[in-house]
Structure 1
Amino acid sequence: MLFERPDDDTLYDALIARSADYEGQAYVCVKTTGIFCRLTCPARKPKRENTIFFDTIAACMHSGFRPCQRCRPLEQPGREPIVDELLAALDREPQLPWTEDELVRRGHDPSTVRRAFKRALGMTFHDIVRYRRLGEAARQLADGARVIDAQLEAGYESPSGFRTAFQRLVGKAPALSQNRELLFADWFETPLGPMVAVADQTHLHLLEFHDRKALPTELEALQKRVRSSVAIGRTPAIDQIEAEIRDYFEGRQTVFRTSLALGGTPFEKHVWAKLMDIPAGQTRAYGDLAREMERPEVVRAVGRANGANQLAIIVPCHRILGADGSLTGYGGGLWRKQWLLRHEEKISTQAKMEETA
């Protein structure tokens, strides 16, 4: 049976207990130190709010975390010796250029090294070198270091080379990353057109169809609210929501598990929670939601909160109809709203047929 990762609270309990139950299947990343560890690490335990958990070493390093020097999560028994040999060499001499010529000089065939690391860790040796250096550069810039200092520390002689590599990792030019929490945006294709997702490392902040007229305004408001800038890039949260949206359009799921960063007022959050309570295949009117909230007089306010939703499909504002059953407005376009409702009706009908079969 495939490993199904427990929730983060369970993994945190395992971390505190130094349990080996999830050895090699889950890793903890510590926001305050930029380190990732095994759950059995003997180091002092971080606070729960400072932890993020990932399934793979590659996900930890893609997110800018570096391996702990106490529990050494990159070291695993039974793998090819060349992997541990080069990881140890990288720890001893992190500032070496580590080009293919350097590998050859040490007696290694670069192709053999590449395959061995991909088998053992899911990423190449040069991926590890690059993510370690650029992750450290990102932390230095966030702490206020000069771009030139971070560039040299990362081992880049050319400012343009550093800028290009840094943007690939963190999605923005180095100068924009100084003293900032990084927020990332990317897009992916769907049967109804591209969708734009904005997220930090763990939470989704925005999901909209690319041609929504209000999208530029929404992005500007989001940046002001979180006091950050949105740059092109990927995070685990974006990867997760892309996979879940793909499953949704393929009819495999209508419930989403990506963590959400809901930035509205308490009233708006209440309305959005009610929207998420509407089962797929069903609809409600604005008045229905107001009555469920035991505030029948706030129908118009419910409508405004519905329109303020920035998480299309996830917070299903498309399931709201007019009092007369008409489609009413939808930021993504009425044709999309109609398609989504028909799609969910098919999924619901199929599920009922399978239950009675």
Structure 2
Amino acid sequence: MNLQNAMLPPHAEMVRAMLERDTTYEGVFFTAVKTTGIFCRPSCTARKPKPENVEFFAHADDCLSAGYRACLRCKPLDAAAIAPDWVQKLLQSVDADPELRWSDAQLLAEGIEPLKLRRWFKQHFGMTFHAWLRTRRLGMALGGIKQGDSIDSAAFDSGYESLSGFRDAFQKSFHITPGRAANSEPLLFTRLTTPLGPMIAMAERRGLVLLEFLDRPALTREVEALQNRHGYAVAPGHNAHLQQIETELAQYFAGKLTEFKVPLHLPGTEFSRQVWAELAKIPYGQTSTYGTIAALLGKPGASRAVGLANGHNRISIVLPCHRVIGADGSLTGYGGGQPRKAFLLRLENAAVQVTRQLAF
């Protein structure tokens, strides 16, 4: 069985998605144009070729192996690649000297075009590089206050000459005053690159709190709830949980991991946590239904409530809501988009089939 081919959607659906530039198919497949020798994302804004001149591949590497070149407009290699070398080098420099103020002149001296950097950070972090730097410094100040530093010291160490300016910036970023910061829980976030498009991961000291695709419509509302309802102060950063989920996700998409080990922390109602616990029990490569989960909870008439709790799940893939389907076998809704849901199910089913074949 060919694992790559098993993960592709039906041909007619891929043609439709290509012609309509459907962004929900980001990373699900790539289009390769025989007449130009170029391959693209299905959402590429370039003029669409005739369907008979296109062939489809599951991975960018497959396109390259078939002799196609990456499109310069939609840059399909970026969908499966980590941050480019020039961004990685800059991030390493920031880690080495977090207090350095990066001016446009300094960026140009490092061979980095400021406008290009601004666009990259807006696309991948939702903010400019300089806004990211400010938030990162404020996150370090938050950590210092949590450890007992005075507000004056935190403001000075963050580069603020005015205490009122520091308070205003702090409250704007974290939705709390510096005085209340000692009682808040820092929630660090980072961007992860996956074959299905970029994701955001958030974790606190107890475990992973959120893992979502960046284009999920409910993402902004989820983050606001974590801030306002659960008292989190959100800041860019890294911790062991974020490093672990990045490694485990890569193994999962490679078909080498069937069970996630990253610790989770799941703020929510008691009923929601019960539903999420049942989600975690659905085996890799198998599916369940809302009705089945309701019955397991001793509430056979609560299918709709189970569906709502399933929709409030903030941790995609790890808590496998993609394995929940309708009673009639339909895929039903999925926050990351049904094409991604279908891809994940095909990925798991194909990996299971390969494992079975190798066992014989």
> Normalising by the residue count of structure 1, what TM-score does the alignment of the two structures yield?
0.54
When structure 1 is superposed on structure 2, of 316-325 and 180-189 the one drifting more is 180-189
Asked if residue 258 in structure 1 is aligned to residue 258 in structure 2, the reply is: no
2:77 equivalent in structure 1: none
- For structure 2, the residue ranges without an aligned partner over 5 or more in a row are 1-137
Residue type of the partner of 1:141? I
- For structure 1, the residue ranges without an aligned partner over 5 or more in a row are 1-133
1:305 equivalent in structure 2: 309
2:211 equivalent in structure 1: 207
1:83 equivalent in structure 2: none
Residue type of the partner of 2:259? V
Asked if residue 340 in structure 1 is aligned to residue 310 in structure 2, the reply is: no
| 8 Å contact kept, 1:198–1:238 | yes
| 8 Å contact kept, 1:184–1:232 | yes
Alpha-carbon offset, residue 328 of structure 1: 0.8
Residue type of the partner of 1:189? T
Residue type of the partner of 1:328? T
The partner residue of 1:237 within 236, 241, 250 is 241
Q: Summarize the Cα distance change of 1:136–1:336 in structure 2 as closer, same or farther, 3 Å threshold.
A: closer
1:181 equivalent in structure 2: 185
Q: Summarize the Cα distance change of 1:159–1:173 in structure 2 as closer, same or farther, 3 Å threshold.
A: farther
Q: % of aligned pairs identical?
A: 43
| 8 Å contact kept, 1:145–1:178 | no
The partner residue of 1:191 within 176, 195, 200 is 195
Q: Summarize the Cα distance change of 1:173–1:213 in structure 2 as closer, same or farther, 3 Å threshold.
A: closer
| 8 Å contact kept, 1:185–1:230 | yes
1:149 equivalent in structure 2: 153
Secondary structure at 1:230's aligned position in 2? strand
Q: Distance in 2 between matches of 1:253 and 1:284?
A: 20
Secondary structure at 1:337's aligned position in 2? helix
Asked if residue 292 in structure 1 is aligned to residue 289 in structure 2, the reply is: no
1:220 equivalent in structure 2: 224
Residue type of the partner of 1:212? R
| 8 Å contact kept, 1:147–1:175 | no
Alpha-carbon offset, residue 320 of structure 1: 1.0
| 8 Å contact kept, 1:147–1:174 | no
Q: Distance in 2 between matches of 1:247 and 1:346?
A: 15
**Taking CA–CA contacts closer than 8 Å with sequence separation of 6 or more, which of the two structures ends up with the larger relative contact order?**
2
Q: Summarize the Cα distance change of 1:175–1:304 in structure 2 as closer, same or farther, 3 Å threshold.
A: closer
Q: Distance in 2 between matches of 1:329 and 1:137?
A: 40
Residue type of the partner of 2:193? E
Alpha-carbon offset, residue 298 of structure 1: 1.0
For residues 1-357 of structure 1, what are the structure 2 equivalents within 5 Å?
140-142=144-146, 145-150=149-154, 159=160, 178-179=181-182, 180-354=184-358, 356-357=359-360
Greater Cα radius of gyration, structure 1 or 2: 1
Alpha-carbon offset, residue 299 of structure 1: 1.1
Residue type of the partner of 1:325? G
| 8 Å contact kept, 1:143–1:178 | no
Q: Summarize the Cα distance change of 1:303–1:140 in structure 2 as closer, same or farther, 3 Å threshold.
A: closer
Cα RMSD, aligned residues only: 3.5
Q: Summarize the Cα distance change of 1:137–1:293 in structure 2 as closer, same or farther, 3 Å threshold.
A: closer
When structure 1 is superposed on structure 2, of 136-145 and 310-319 the one drifting more is 136-145
| 8 Å contact kept, 2:142–2:186 | no
Q: Summarize the Cα distance change of 1:224–1:344 in structure 2 as closer, same or farther, 3 Å threshold.
A: same
Q: Distance in 2 between matches of 1:259 and 1:273?
A: 13
> Normalising by the residue count of structure 2, what TM-score does the alignment of the two structures yield?
0.53
Alpha-carbon offset, residue 159 of structure 1: 3.7
Q: How many residues align?
A: 217
Residue type of the partner of 2:244? Q
Alpha-carbon offset, residue 135 of structure 1: 11
Q: Summarize the Cα distance change of 1:303–1:173 in structure 2 as closer, same or farther, 3 Å threshold.
A: closer
